[in-house]
Every structure is written in C-alpha cells, then in structure tokens.
C-alpha cells in the first residue's frame, strides 16, 4: 500500500517543516506501507532534510518535460532529483484544468521523469458531466493510454497511477466503493495490456478525492486499490497519520 500527501499550494516554509516533522515523528514502522509527501517546490529542500532517514519519500507536484534551458518559471526532472525527490505528480486534474496540461504533455513529462529515475504519479479521472453521461470509463481509458504512451516501465515500482474523479476532489464527496472498484479494475486491465501482466498487475493504483480518516479503510479494502493520493487531509498530521494507519496491512 502507498499513501501520498499532495499539499497543493498550501503551507509556507515554516509550516512545511512543522507538518513534515510532526508526521515523521509519529509515522511508525513502514514495512507494510509506503508513504510519500509532495510539498510545493520551495519547501522540497527543507522537507527533504526533515524526511531524510525516516523512510518517508519526497515528491514534487509537477515538473517540465524538457531537460533544461530557457523555460522561465519551470523546474526540471534533474532539479527534482537533486533535492531528493522520489515521486513527481503529473497530470493532476487541477493542472489539466488551470495549466492546460494534456495527455500529450503528461506523457512527455512521464517519459522525462523516468529518464531521471523519478517515479511519476500519473493522475486520471473524469468530470461530473462525463460521469453523468456514462462516458467515464472511456474518458479514463483514453487518459491512461495517452498519458502513458511511450513511457518505459519494466518494474512495477517505476510508476504509479492515481484515479481521481474530478467531482470528488476537494468537494467532500467521495466515489462509492463500487465506483472505485469498477474503475480501478478497468485501469488494472489497461496497465496489464500496456506493460504486460507481470508488471501491470503490480503497478500501484491510488484512489484520490476526499479521502479522510472516516472513509480510508473502506476505500483501501476495494480490489485494485493500492493506497491513496490525499489532498486536504494530508495537511493535518493527525488525519494523514490515521489514513496511513488504515493502509497498514
Ligand atoms: P482531496 O484532493 O483529498 O482534497 O480531495 C485529492 C487530490 O487532489 O489529490
């Protein structure tokens, strides 16, 4: 199981140090669960210093697809590696919505991330109108196939996929266990098709969208749910730790 906190555009440097320290101090054994934390860029270095040696892994929330150069305001894969990142979230729906990211840019970013030995957490998920129209499976299938096109994955630990229905992100509304199980089963079949059964069957598929201490256990019990990508609840040490506990087996 894998639980990753996505802090989004929250917490200044002092607050980032405080939250990561509080979580690290109480995380307990990490033998049955992997944990990641994705602060904003400016806090990566400081949070890495806190996490170093704890077993909790650092991740970024985005990166640029080019190696380097004249891309004002952007951050490269090698820069993320240099500050200790293991993961990078790619194609989050907020970036698809507000920063114009497409499956094509996500695929370029994921390939570049792999070149630099970062583990991409590739996000997919349908909107409410798409769910209501019954096209959610087709929408997510297209996102998975195109976002992962050309991505090299020879071992299941090199890639993570997060299913995050847009209508459940930050809304307090969660997909039902059945909806989650159905979509995760579909994504599992796609991953096995793309990377072969041996690799595809082991790639972690996270659920994201209003995961909280009260619903984490039931969601994590669903077939093909290998953990969660946690937004709001990752900003409170107590809630995040309780979700990590729910993922322990
Ligand atoms: P949420 O966000 O847990 O606040 O719904 C999840 C995400 O966007 O990764």
pLDDT tens digits, residue range 208-237? 999 999 999 999 999 999 999 999 999 999
Across the range 66-71, mean pLDDT stands at: 98
211 three-class SS: coil
Catalytic residues: 92, 164
| Inter-CA distances, 234 with 11, 57, 102, 210, 231, Å | 11, 14, 26, 10, 5
> What pLDDT digit, counting tens, does each position of 177-212 carry?
999 999 999 999 999 999 999 999 999 999 999 999
Among 84, 80, 92, which residue's Cα sits nearest to residue 41?
80
Instruction: Choose the residue to mutate in 2, 168, 169 for probing ligand 1, maximizing ligand atoms within 8 Å of C-beta.
Output: 169
pLDDT band at 29 (very low <50, low <70, confident <90, very high): very high
Architecture of domain 90-156+168-196: Alpha-Beta Barrel (3.20)
- 243, 206 in Cβ contact below 8 A? no
Take atom 7 of ligand 1 and give the residue whose Cα is closest: 231
| Ligand 1 first shell, C-beta below 6 A | 6, 164, 169-170, 208-211, 229-233
Across the range 41-62, mean pLDDT stands at: 98
Portion of the chain with pLDDT greater than 70, in percent: 100
pLDDT band at 247 (very low <50, low <70, confident <90, very high): very high
- 75, 118 in Cβ contact below 8 A? no
Supply the mean pLDDT for the chain.
97
What pLDDT was estimated at residue 160?
98
| Inter-CA distances, 155 with 13, 126, 172, 181, 229, Å | 35, 27, 35, 24, 21
Positions of E strands within 13-166 = 34-38, 57-60, 85-90, 119-124, 160-163
Among 229, 223, 224, which residue's Cα sits nearest to residue 203?
224
> What pLDDT digit, counting tens, does each position of 169-178 carry?
988 888 999 9
Portion of the chain with pLDDT greater than 90, in percent: 97
What pLDDT was estimated at residue 173?
84
């Amino acid at each position: 199981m894998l639980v990753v906190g996505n802090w989004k555009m929250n917490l200044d440097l002092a607050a980032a140090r405080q939250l990561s320290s509080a979580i690290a101090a109480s995380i307990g054994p990490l033998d049955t669960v992997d944990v990641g934390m994705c602060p904003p860029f400016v806090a990566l270095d400081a949070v890495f210093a806190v996490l170093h040696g704890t077993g909790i892994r650092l991740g970024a929330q985005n990166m640029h697809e080019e190696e380097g150069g004249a891309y004002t305001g952007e951050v490269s894969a090698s820069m993320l590696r240099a500050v200790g990142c293991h993961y990078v979230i790619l194609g989050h729906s907020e970036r698809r919505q507000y920063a114009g990211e497409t499956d094509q840019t996500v695929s370029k970013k994921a390939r570049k991330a792999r070149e630099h030995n970062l583990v991409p957490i590739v996000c997919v998920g349908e909107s409410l109108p798409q769910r209501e129209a019954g096209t959610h499976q087709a929408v997510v299938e297209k996102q998975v196939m195109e976002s992962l096109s050309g991505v090299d994955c020879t071992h299941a630990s090199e890639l993570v996929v997060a299913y995050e229905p847009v209508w459940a992100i930050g809304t307090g509304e969660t997909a039902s266990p059945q909806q989650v199980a159905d979509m995760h089963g579909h994504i599992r079949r796609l991953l096995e098709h793309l990377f072969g059964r041996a690799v595809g069957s082991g790639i972690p598929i996270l659920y994201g969208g209003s995961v909280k201490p009260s619903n984490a256990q039931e969601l994590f019990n669903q077939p093909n749910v290998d953990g969660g990508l946690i937004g709001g609840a990752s900003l409170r040490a107590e809630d995040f730790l309780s979700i990590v506990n729910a993922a322990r087996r």
